[in-house]
Amino acid sequence: MDMEFSPEDLAFQQEVRQFIADNYPAELRGKQDEGEELSKEDFLAWHKILHKKGWIAPAWPVEYGGTGWTPTQRFIWSEETARADCIRLMPFGLAMVGPVIYTFGTPEQKAYFLPRILSGEDWWCQGYSEPGSGSDLASLRTTAVSDGDDYIVNGQKTWTTLAQHADWGFFLVRTDKDAKQQEGISFLLIDMKSPGITVRPIITLGGEHEVNEVWLEDVRVPKSQRVYEENKGWTCAKFLLAHERTGIAGVAASKRGIEKVKAIARTELDGDKPLLANPFFKRKVAELEVDLTALEFTELRSLAGANAGKGPGPESSLLKIKGSEIQQRLTELTLEAVGHYGAPYFRGFGEGDNEHPIGPDYAHRAAPTYFNMRKTTIYGGSNEIQRNIIAKMVLGL
Amino acid sequence: MDFTYTETQDMIRDTLARFLADTYDFETRQKFINGDTGRDPAIWTALAQELGMLGAAFAEEHGGLGGGALENAIVMEELGKVIGIEPYLPTVVIAGGALKAVGGAQADAIIPEIIAGNAIIAFAYAEPQGRYDLANLKTNAKKDGAGYVLNGHKSVVYAAPWATHLLVTARTGGGQRDTDGVSLFLIDAKLPGIVRRDYPTVDGSRASEVYFENVAVPGDALLGSEGAALPLIEQIVDEATVATCAEATGVMQKLHEGTLEYTQQRKQFGVPIAKFQVLQHRMVDMFMEVEQARSMTIMGTLKLGLPANERMAAVSAAKAKVGRGANFVGQNAIQTHGGIGITQELAIGHYFKRATMIEGQFGSVDHHMDRYERIVLAD
C-alpha cells in the first residue's frame, strides 16, 4: 500500500495537464467564469475534443473504446480535469447506457450505439422515474405491448434530464403486468424523434430548464432495441444504478469546489479581515475538507476492491450519500460566502446584452446552484433509499 | 499508487486475530484487568515469542519483519477489536518509533529487547498544565557532569506500572512553552527518585502519576540532540495518533457489529427491533463512520512519511474525523442497546469506554481541527 506516483504516472500527469491547457475551449472557459448556463453545443465541444484524442471513455473496456489506463492514471485524469475546472461530461451515454449496452447488449446494438456514444453524435436521456414512481422505481406503469416485431409504448416519464437535447433515451417499461413488480420490466432504447413522444420542460428552483416530462403515446419501438431479455430489464437497471452511484461521489469536482469557496472567502471581507479568517466560517470549510478527504480515501479503497475483481457493489451507496452531502454543503458555504450578492437573479446574457451583471462573477450562480443541488440527495435513489440498500445488502437487515 | 495489503500483512492480521480470539475473550479480559497487576504477562510474552508480532514493525537487522506504520496499524486495529490493553502503543509505536528515528547504539541495544518482549516502555509526556501542547513542559533535566538530573511530574502515564523503561520529555533549556530546549530521554523505570502513584483507568488499563525527584539520569539516555527534540516528539506522537485511529477503527467496528447482533435478537412490540427503519438507518450511519474511520486511518498512515506540515495536516484530519466517528458510533451503540447498554454486564459498554477515551487521546477533535486550520487554512 502506498500513494507514490511512478515516473510514468508523473509523465502522464504532465501530458494530461498540457493537453488540457492546449485544448480546453476558451469560449467555454469564459462562460463558466461568468456563471452562464451552458448550451448543448458547449457540452459537446469538450466531449468532441476528448473523443478525437481517444480519451472520452477511460472507464470503458479497451475493446469498446476505453483508454486502457491504470487505476492510477484514471485517478490522475479525474484530478487534473477537476483541477483545471473542465466541465463534467454528460453521464447518460458514457456512464449509464454505454456500460449497459456493452455488458448486456447484442453485437448489433454494440456496433451501432457505442461508437455514436463515444463520438457524441447521440445525446442520451434516462427514462426511469414516473410521476407515481420515484423511490419505488419498480412500481413504474409505462407499458410496452408486443405487436409483431415491435412494442407499442404508452406512459409518462418525469425528471428526464436534458431530454430537450436528446436523440435517444433508455427507458424502463412494463412488459408483463401480471409478474411481480421487478420481474415484468424491460429495458428499451427509444429514438426520441419517434412519433408519439412529447417533451415538456420542468423549470426548477434556480430557474433552469434542466429536467423534463416525457410523454409516450403509442410509440412504436422495434424489439431489436430492447437490451437483454424481455422482463429482465431490472437487472440492467440495478447494474446502471450501481455504476451511477460511484460517479456520483464527485470527489475531484468537490475538491475544486472547495478551492473556489476558499478563494471567495479570501476576497470577501468580514470586518477588516477576509471571511476565511472568521473562525466559524473557517471551521466549516475545514470540516468540509476533512469529510471530503474521508470520502476520497473511501472511494480509493472501493476502487482497489473493484480492481480486485469486485464490481461496484452496495458500498457505492456510501459514496453516493457522503458525496451528495458534501456537494450540498459546498453550495451552502458558497452562498453564505457571497453575502448580499446571493440575491440578484442573473438570467444569463440575452442577445445584445453588454451590461455586466450585478455583483461579482463568483456570486451570480451561488443561489441558483444552491437551489439546484438539492437534487443530489434525491436523485439516483434518494439518500434514504441508499440507507435502505446498505441496511439490506451490507448489514443483512 | 496501490491500496492493497501484501500477503505478509494479511498473514500478520490473520495470525493475530486468531491468537486474540483464543486468548482475549471478554470474560478472560475482565478477569485479568480486575486482578492485582491488571494484565496477563503471558499474553505479551506470547505476542513476542510465539507470534513474533512485536517485531512486525522493525527492521530485519534488529530482528524484526521489516514492516513499519502499516504493520503498526494492523496490530492496533486487531487490539482494538478485543479492547486489548497490551502496551503495544507506547512500547512499539512510540518508543520503537523514536529509537528507529534516532538509530545508533541505543536502537541496537533496546529494539531487540522490545521485539523479545523483555522491554515495556511507557511514554511520560503529558503534564497537568500542558493539555495537548507537547512543548508545554515544567519537567526539567539539568546537566550534571556527564548526565542529567531530572525533576517534574508527568500525568496519566499509561502502562507505567508495568514498564521497564520510561520515555520522558523534559526541558533542558528555554521557557515553559518554548519550542526550543525540549529533550527526550529513555530511562530505566526503576531509577532512584522515580515515584509512582498507580491507578486503574476508566477504559480498563493501568496508568500512573509519575514524579521525578532529583533522578540521576545517565548521559546516554538522551535520544536525539539536546534541546532540539520537539520535531522528533511531534513525529512519534503523530505516528501514535494514527495508530490510535487504527485501534479506534477496530473498537468502532465491534461496537457496530455488536449493535447489529443485539438488534436482531432483542424483540419489542413482537418483532426484532432491527426491523425498525429508524434503527436501520442509524446503524447505516454507524457503518459509514466505521468505514470512514478505516479510510482516514489508511490516509494518515500513508502520509506519515511526508514533510512535517503535510504529515501534521493529514494526521489531524484523520484524528478529527475518527474522534467524531468514535463518539457517534459509541453513543449510538449504547442508545440502541437501551438499558442493558449502560451496565457493566455486556462487552459493548467497555468498548464504548475505550472509544470515549480515544476521542481525547493525543488531542480532542477541536485540538486537531485547530492544528489542521493553522496549517491548511492560514489566512
Interchain CB distance below 8 Å, B299 and A293: yes
When pLDDT is averaged across residues B336-362 and rounded to a whole number, the result is: 97
Chain A: closest CA distance from residue B27 (Å):
27
The residues near A127 (Cβ < 8 Å, ≥ 6 apart) are A142, A157, A160, A169, A170, A171, A172, A190, A214
Residues of A catalogued as catalytic? 244
pLDDT of residue A111 exceeding 80, the answer is yes
Note whether residue A321 is domain-resident: yes
Mean per-residue pLDDT for B11-24? 97
Mean pLDDT of A145-168: 97
C-alpha span between B179 and A342 (Å, rounded): 45
Contact A337, A280 (CB under 8 A): no
Contact at 8 Å (CB) between A264 and A337? yes
Q: Where do the structural domains in chain B lie, given as residue ranges?
A: 7-119, 123-227, 231-376
Chain B, nearest residue to A7 by Cα: B1
Q: Do residues A218 and A337 share a domain?
A: no
- Which whole-number Å values give the CA distances from B75 to A287, B15, B24, B55, B89, in the listed order? 29, 10, 14, 11, 10
Domain count, chain A: 2
Kindly report the number of other CB atoms within 10 A of residue B219's CB atom: 13
- The whole-angstrom separation of Cα A179 and Cα B243 is 54
Enclosing domain of residue A178: 123-232
Give the three cell numbers for residue A232: 429482465
The phi and psi torsions of A197 (rounded to 5 degrees) equal -100, 130
Average pLDDT over residues B174-201: 98
Give the distance from residue A299's alpha carbon to the nearest chain B alpha carbon, in angstroms. 9
Q: Are residues A179 and A253 in the same domain?
A: no
Q: Which value, to the nearest 10 degrees, does the dihedral of the CA atoms of residues A91, A93, A99, A100 take? A: 120
pLDDT, one tens digit per residue, over B118-168 is 999 999 999 999 999 999 999 999 999 999 999 999 999 999 999 999 999
The answer on A257 and A228 residing in a single domain is no
Assess B379–A contact: CB distance below 8 Å, yes or no.
yes
The Cα–Cα gap between A22 and A8 comes to 21
Q: Binning pLDDT at 50, 70 and 90, where does residue A310 land? A: low
DSSP structure class, residue A157: E
Return the CATH number at A133. 2.40.110.10
| In a shared domain, residues A177 and A278 | no
Helix (H, G, I), strand (E, B) or coil at A206: coil
Confidence of residue B22 (pLDDT cuts 50, 70, 90): very high
Cα A214 to Cα A13: distance, rounded to the nearest angstrom: 42
State which residue of chain B sits closest to A9, comparing Cα positions: B1
pLDDT(A306) > 80: no
CB contact under 8 A, A395 and B283: yes
CB burial class (10 A; 0-12, 13-18, 19+) of residue A168? buried
Nearest to B288 among A4, A274, A318 (CB): A318
The share of chain A scoring above pLDDT 70, in percent, equals 95
Cβ(A326)–Cβ(A291) below 8 Å: yes
Average confidence (pLDDT) over B330-345: 96
| Inside any domain, residue A243 | no
Q: In this structure, are residues A242 and A313 in contact, taking their beta carbons and an 8 Å threshold?
A: yes
Beta-carbon separation of A71 and B274 below 8 A = no
Q: What's the confidence (pLDDT) of residue A351?
A: 62
B294 in contact with A, Cβ within 8 Å: yes
Question: Residues of B with CB below 8 A from A384's CB?
Answer: 281
Contact assessment for residue A156 and residue A142, using Cβ atoms and an 8 Å cutoff = yes
Q: What is the CATH number of the domain that holds A390?
A: 1.20.140.10
Question: Is any Cβ of chain A less than 8 angstroms from the Cβ of B284?
Answer: yes
Distance from CA of A107 to the nearest CA of B (A): 35
Residue B74 contacts A, CB cutoff 8 Å: no
Chain B partners within 8 Å of A397 (Cβ): 260, 264, 274-275, 280, 283
Query: Do A315 and A228 fall into the same domain?
Result: no
Phi, psi dihedrals of residue A86, rounded to the nearest 5° = -70, 145
A247 pLDDT higher than 90? no
State how far the alpha carbon of B346 is from the alpha carbons of B96, B246, B350, in Å: 35, 23, 8
Quick check: is A129 in a domain? yes
Q: Identify all chain A residues contacting B302, using CB atoms and an 8 Å cutoff.
A: 1-3
Cβ pair B326, B315 in contact under 8 A: no
Query: Taking CB atoms and an 8 Å limit, are A1 and B4 in contact across chains?
Result: yes
Q: Are A308 and A360 part of one and the same domain?
A: yes
Under 8 Å between Cβ of A160 and A127: yes
Low-confidence winner among A74-83, A227-236, B185-194 (lowest mean pLDDT): A74-83
What class is the B7-119 domain?
A: mainly alpha
Categorize the per-residue pLDDT at A313 as very low, low, confident or very high, splitting at 50, 70 and 90: low
Quick check: helix, strand or coil at residue A147?
strand
β-sheet bridge partners, residue A126: A170
Q: Closest Cα to residue B289, out of B335, B248, B322, B262?
A: B322
Pairing state of beta strands B147-158 and B140-144? antiparallel
Tell me the nearest-neighbour CA distance from B183 into chain A, angstroms.
32
Name the band, by pLDDT with cuts 50, 70 and 90, for residue A304: confident
Residue A258 pairs in a beta bridge with none
Kindly state the average pLDDT of the residues B351-377.
98
Give the DSSP per-residue string, B146-213: TEEEEEEEEEEEETGGG-SEEEEEEESSS-TT-STTEEEEEEETT-TTEEEEEEE-TTS-EEEEEEEE
Alpha helices, DSSP H, located in chain A: 7-23, 26-34, 40-53, 71-83, 91, 98-104, 107-119, 233-247, 251-267, 279-307, 316-338, 366-372, 383-389
Closest chain A residue to the Cα of B320, Cα to Cα: A290
Q: Say if residue B239's pLDDT is above 70.
A: yes
Answer yes or no: is A114 within a domain.
Answer: no
Is A265 inside a domain boundary? Answer: yes
Q: Write the CA distances from B268 to A391, B67, B272, B338, integer angstroms.
A: 19, 49, 6, 12
Averaged over A183-208, what is the pLDDT? 96
Question: Residue A215: CB partners within 8 Å, gap ≥ 6?
Answer: A156, A197, A198, A199, A200
pLDDT of residue A352: 65
Residue A30 is predicted with a pLDDT of: 87
| Residue B254 · residue B287 · CB < 8 Å | no
Q: Encode pLDDT of B23-68 as tens digits.
A: 999 999 999 999 999 999 999 999 999 999 999 999 999 999 999 9
Q: What is B231-376's CATH number, 3.50.50.60, 1.20.140.10, 1.10.3720.10, 3.20.20.150? A: 1.20.140.10
Q: Domain check: are A348 and A291 in the same one?
A: yes
Residue range A106-111: average pLDDT? 98
Question: Is A253 in the same domain as A390?
Answer: yes
Q: What is the mean pLDDT of chain A?
A: 92
Q: Are residues A216 and A164 in the same domain?
A: yes
B123-227 with B231-376: one CATH topology?
no
Examine the domain organization and report whether A220 and A277 are in the same domain: no
Rounded CA-CA distance B306/B12 in Å is 25
Confidence at residue A244, expressed as pLDDT on a 0 to 100 scale: 65
Domain presence at residue A104: no
Res A3: pLDDT? 87
Q: Are A173 and A206 part of one and the same domain?
A: yes
Q: Looking at the domain assignment, is residue A24 inside a domain?
A: no
Cα–Cα dist A364/B262, whole Å: 52
Contact B317, A289 (CB under 8 A): yes
Going B353 to B355 to B358 to B360, the CA torsion angle's sign is: negative
Question: Which of 2.40.110.10, 1.10.10.10, 2.60.40.1180, 1.10.1060.10 is the CATH number of B123-227?
Answer: 2.40.110.10
Spatial neighbors of A194 by CB under 8 A, at least 6 apart, are A219, A220, A221
Please tell me whether residues A312 and A390 are part of one structural domain. yes
